[in-house]
Amino acid sequence: MNVSGIAEFIAALLILVGSMMAVVSAIGIIRFPDVYTRSHAATKSSTLAVLLTLSGAFLLFWINQSFVSVRILLGIAFVFLTAPVSGHMISRAAYRRKVKMSDTTVEDELYDVLHGEGKEREK
């Protein structure tokens, strides 16, 4: 196995690990109890999945066709910048719409800000 074969194998392995990470993220989105933990699972691990996959595709194009794709690099940068922002926006919208947390939540530091000062939380 020569050098370019090894590099090709590493790039395909990056794509495979990225797809496994997508499956892990999907399992997290189906198993977690409330919307905030689901957003935690979906945002971080699917961002990592798409970063690994696009890096693998970039490496494969570079090795096979000796073509440096600026579009894939821009896609990596764009996903890396915007996925946390969209996760933050959707979690904040859910919190302001008073979507219920799970029953095992013990701490909600913004409860007074949202519901008015000094009100006891019902459990």
Partner 1 sequence: MIELMLSAALVMFGLAGAIALIRIIIGPSLPDRIIALDMIGVILVSVVAVISVILNTRAFLEVILILAILAFISTIAFSRYIERGAIIERKRDR
Using the contact rule CB under 8 A, the part of the chain among 56-64, 102-110, 115-123 near partner 1 is 56-64
Nearer to partner 1, 89 or 111 (CB): 89
If you search the block for the tokens 């959707």, which residue do you land on? 90
Nearer to partner 1, 23 or 112 (CB): 23
Residue of 45, 18, 17, 19 whose CA lies nearest to 31: 45
Long-range contacts at 22-28 (CB < 8 A, ≥ 24 apart)? 22/46, 22/49, 22/50, 22/53, 25/49
Nearer to partner 1, 92 or 115 (CB): 92
Residues 74 to 93 in contact with partner 1, rule: CB under 8 A: 74-75, 78-79, 82-83, 85-87, 89-93
